[in-house]
Structure formats: C-alpha cells, structure tokens
Amino acid sequence: MCGRANFKKFYYVFLVYLVIPFHNPIFGMEKVTLHLKWFHQFQFAGYYTALEKGYYKEAGLDVELLESTVGVKGIHEKVIRSTGQYGVGSNELIQERYHGKPVVILAVIFQHSPSVLFFKKSSNIQSIHDLFGKRVMLTPRMLEIIAYLKKEGIDLKDLQILEHRFNPDDLISGRVDAYSGYATTQAYDFRKAGFPFVEYSPRVAGIDFYGDNFFTSEAEVREHPERVKAFREASLRGWHYAMSHQEEIVDLIYEKYSQKNSKEKLLFEAKQMTPLIQPVLVEIGYMNPGRWKHINDIYSELGMLPKNINLKGFIYDPNPPTNYDFVYYSFGVILFSLVVFGVIQRRRLNQKYAENLKKQVEVRTEELKHSNDYLQVLNQSSLNTLGELTEAQDRLLASEKLAVLGQLAAGMAHELNTPLGAIVSSNFSLSDFLNHKLNRSIDAIVGFNAEDSYRFHKVLEESLKNQTFIEGKTERSIKKELASKYVSIEKMNLYGEHMQLVLETGAFRLGDELIDLLESENSLKILEVVACISAAYRSNQIISVASEKATHVIKALKSYLVSEKDILHSNTNVDIIFEMETILSLYHYNLTKVTIVKSYLTDKKCKGNRDKLNQVWINLLNNALQAMAYNGILEIKIQCIDQWIKVSIIDSGIGISDSIKGKIFDPFFTTKPDGGGMGLGLDICKKIIRQMDGTIELEEVPRGACFSVCLPIADIN
C-alpha cells in the first residue's frame, strides 16, 4: 500500500511540474504589444474597440497599446527586436523590407492614403507646379507626397523645406506656403478656423498608396502563427464594429484614451475615413499583391527602389495553401524503398537459385512457385502505390486550376474596385451639392435681374457644352493670356477669384461676351453658381461612365462562367473568338502596357469543351504575359486550315532556349522562381487538347514564343 501511495505522489508531482507548464494559456493570457504611429485618435479606433469590447481577451491575448509622439520613427526596430511586438506603419514598410528588416504586412486599413498637401486657396499657388522656391513643411516618412512631387517634376532641392511643427497655424498665418498632412484631421482645423484652403492628393497623379498598414516580424509569424492569426482577426473585428458605431467609439476614445481632440473633431475624422477605408466595398484588411507591385513600380520610376523587388514573405496570408512537399517526399521514399527492396530480394532469389541449381527438380519447382507468389504480392503493392500517386496528381491538377482562377479573381477585384471608387467619390460630391449648395444656388438665380439671368444662362450653356479637363501647364498659359488681354479690368487679376472661376466654368471661351459678364455687379456670384452646377454635372457623368465600365466587367465575368449546357455535355460547338474576347476583358487590368494584335481570319466554331478550353487560353495568356513582364506586343491569330481551327498566341518576350524546348510540356518542369508555379500548366493544356482530338505545339518565331493549338472544326448543320 505504501508503494502505491508513493507512486501516486510521484504521479501528481510529475503532472504539476511537467504537464501543466505546457498548458499555460489556460491559466494566463499571451502578452503582446501594439505600437501606434501617432497620438490617440480615431485613426486607431479598431484597436481600441477590440480591446474594450473584449475581442482580444476572447482570443487569449493581453494587449498593450502604445501611442507615439514622433511618428513611425523607431517602431520598426521595436517590432523586429522580439516576438509579441506589432505596429502600425505606412508604405515605408516596403523600403524597410528591401533594406533587410524582416517586417510582414498583416492587413491594410486604409485602401487610399489620407496624405495630402494643403495650400491657402487665395494664395499665388494655383497648381502643384507653382511650388518651386516656396516654403513647404513635409511630414517625415510621408513618402507618397515625395513621390507625388517627383512625378510632377519637383525635386526637394527646389523647395524651402522647413521642419514640420504639426501646428496648422503655420499655414493659416502664412509662415509657410504649403503644409503636408492628413485630409482626415488637419482639414478640420482649417475649417474650424474659417481658413480657405485647397488640398492636393497624390492620387491625381496616379500614386494611389495604401495607408496605416498593420504589421509584425517574420519571427512572430514563424514562431507564433496562431497568435498572429488570432490578433489579426480580433483587430479586424474591432475595425468592423468601430466603423459601424462611430459615435459610440468617439465617446470611448475621448473619455478613456485622450481628450487632446474634441468629440466633434474625432467624429469629423471618422466620417472622412469612411471613403478611404471603403468598408462597404472592400473587406477591411484586404490587400492586393498587384497593388504592392504598383507601389514598388512607382518607387522604381522615381529612383527610390529597384524594380521588381522580391516580396516573398512580405504579404501575410491568413489561409496559406496546402503544402504537398511532405506528400511528394513520402511517396518518393515509399517508391524508392520498394525498388530497393525488390532489387535486393531479386538478387537474393537469383543467388539462391544458382546455389540450388543442382538440386532435385521437385525442390527447384517448389522454390519457383514461392518466388512467383511473392512477385504477385509485390506487383499488387506496386499497383496500389501507383493508384495513390495518380490520386495525388489529380489533386495537384485541381490545385493548379484553382491557382489560375485565383489570379483571375484578384484582377477582377481591382477592375471592379476602380469604377466603384469613382462612383463613391462622385456620389459624395453630388451629395454635398444637393445638401449644402443647391438651395444657395437657387436663391442666387432667383435674385438675378433680367440681364444677369441672361448672362448666367450664357455661361452655364458654355460650361456644360465643353467639360474638357485643362492641365496645369495649359491652365497657366490661358491665365496669363487672359490677364494680358483684360489688363484694364480689375476683376481679371491673375491670382484673383474671378480668374480661377473663368477657367473652371469655361467662360473664357465666350470671347467678347466675357466683358459683358465682368461688367455685372453679380459676376462673381454668377460664376460661382455655374461652377457648382458644372461640378455636379461632371460628377453625374463620372458616375455614368464608371457604372458602364463596372457593368461591362460583370457581363464579361458572367459570360466566362460555365453554363448548364456545358456541364451536361462534355463537347459542344465553341465560339473561340467570343471566349477569347471575354477572357481579354477579364484581363484588362494586366494589359495596360501591352499592345494586343488580333488576327481573326475565320469565324468558324471548333468542337470541344468550353470550360476546359478556357483553362487552356488562360494558361497560355498567363505564360505569355509573364514572359513579357506585362509590357510588349501580344498577337492572337485564329485561322482555318483544312478541317482544323488553328489558334496561335505569340508574345514578344525573351523566348524559350533550345536546351529546354523538349521539356516544357513535361509535368512539374518550370523555369519560374520558387512559388511562381508548380510546372503543371502546359502539361494540363496538352492533356486537355489531346482529349479533344487536337494538338498543341511550340512553333519557331523570330522573336519571343508562339504556342499553336489545332482543334477540329465543328459540324454546323
């Protein structure tokens, strides 16, 4: 009994000291720290919400939020120094990654950066190009503003750069001519002070960067993958709640975190963030690898980064694809073992057979019988192994197809996001006109006398007739010409309000009738009302064009999807031209720098499976675009030769070397870098075309590569 009691004591001690420590999360929370890049404000509302609503606690996390008083300076070093560290950064993270810091982007909060340049509305700065020699305050690390200036041909050495004091009074008092900041916060201070201002966004120059990137280190992702996933999901859950309950979270921030900003300013910030985050159109946290490549390209064009830097491991994938390496390795080991075992066993049997060659015939026959039985078992085992390998190959084929469809879906998301973003922005402008400017405009029009009413209608007719956008250089030239022509008219001062409105409304095209307009005491009011109406009309046109583009993309996607007829019948009559045009529509975003040459020499249909043939066209087009680095000439030729429809896809890329031409259709052969593909694309294409009694081959061309597919012509009754 004593021995049994001692054994129980030992068991309990073992349980307490060895087993329980491995289950520590049951008794304690995992400690993590999130470094914010500025003072407490609505800009970080999602993280406050996740903490106060208990989302972090439910995920088993004890989260500490640290505000910064110096921006993002030093945050990257703190995050990569040890595990359990997270941060909120900007687009400088791609540069930090290139310079060797192992940072990983977990989610993007702002789909469009709020960074802008503010000018005084009535100053002598009428466009971004008027900044030469002016005093400018630039926020540190606001790289999209620097990229914007460089793209407009303005170097920092051309400016008087002053240290940013983050005091809006510097611009209001005229201490500086331009002031960088956020459209979500500084705009409130200017409006509150009654200061007339103009803001320029880098997006007008095609520099559309992300904002507020949630990130951590490679070590944290590698060593604590479940903690990373839980922290990310809880944070995004907090952002969803915060954007849907803005007034509640404003009260929370003001009462518990900081009273540095008033509730009115915090709520203004929340409203301005909504079109930048786009929580209705885009899932909060979503990021497109192609968008990061676009950011890399912009930096490369401006000499701030090399082109096509390696982003592998930089973008976090919360649902990584299944890794089949272990499956391949296991099957390889099994197959190799079977071969070695078979060779050894066969040698042993041969040796035994030689040693017993002189034995009696009956003994030898018995031995051969046993050998035959063993070989049958071995053969059956090999057949089973072959079946397992075939099943694994089928899964790999399905995975390759899903990967191609995934690439197509990413491009579609961007194609739809652009017109929808334009619709949202234009709708905001229309809403502002209807809610704040319409009544004032009506009152002004009603108050015009007969002469002013005629002048108003004349200017409005000219403004609506020609909505052409005037570029900065042309605008300055027209202003100088008008100032010279009407030098005797005080209202036509080069930097006055009349001059700007005459250009915006197009009134300068009225010729001599412009003088009649300027003679009116209400000339400024007439021009302002026309400018408001013209802007609303222009927003309506943008919505119309953007809606038409989105509808076109959706129709193309609907046409691409497999119909019920194609599912029920493996082979049908396929209109190759229609299918090819549909796929090109879906790939529109990737073809901005590609010249498409179409040679459709026949409109006859081929015989085959529409869905599988579309997979072939997508594979061949993908390979061609990647070979050209999405820049060059892509020719698509469709012709009729005897009883065949021949489709040729010719790119202007680097071509295929003679040493690998015999291997390109082999399964698992690829020239792409790790992660670029499994080498099954052309093998799949070859199998599909053979199933339809067709052929696919690589043809010789002077430049690039040419893949030709021949399919039987359909019998049209």
**Interval 693-704: pLDDT, tens:** 999 999 988 888
Min mean pLDDT across 183-192, 318-327, 609-618 is at 318-327
Residues 6+ away with beta carbon under 8 Å from 322: 399
**According to the model, what pLDDT value does residue 234 have?**
96
| pTM (2 d.p.) | 0.46
Write the DSSP symbol of residue 603: -
How confident is residue 220, by pLDDT bands cut at 50, 70 and 90? very high
For residue 424, pLDDT beyond 80: no
pLDDT tens digits for range 399-415: 555 555 566 565 556 56
**According to the model, what pLDDT value does residue 6 have?**
53
Contacts 24+ apart (CB under 8 A), 509-514: 509/462, 509/466, 510/458, 510/459, 510/462, 513/458, 514/486
Contacts 24+ apart (CB under 8 A), 2-8: none
When pLDDT is averaged across residues 268-289 and rounded to a whole number, the result is 89
Q: Which residue has the higher pLDDT, 340 or 710?
A: 710
For residue 538, pLDDT beyond 70: yes
Mean pLDDT is highest, among 74-88, 127-141, 245-259, for 245-259
For residue 22, pLDDT beyond 50: no
Q: Which residue has the higher pLDDT, 432 or 175?
A: 175
Domain annotation for the chain: domains and CATH numbers: 30-111+209-302 (3.40.190.10), 115-205 (3.40.190.10), 419-552 (no CATH), 566-712 (3.30.565.10)
**According to the model, what pLDDT value does residue 371 have?**
67
pLDDT tens digits for range 540-595: 877 877 677 667 666 655 555 544 444 445 678 899 999 888 888 877 767 888 99
How confident is residue 662, by pLDDT bands cut at 50, 70 and 90? confident
Q: What is the dihedral of CA 130, 135, 137, 142, to 10 degrees?
A: 40
For residue 106, pLDDT beyond 50: yes
When pLDDT is averaged across residues 308-337 and rounded to a whole number, the result is 76
Render 76-92 in DSSP notation, one character per residue: HHHHHHSTTEEEEE-TT
Residues 6+ away with beta carbon under 8 Å from 101: 76, 77, 80
- pLDDT exceeding 70 applies to what percent of the chain? 81
Q: What are phi and psi of 331, to 5 degrees?
A: -65, -40
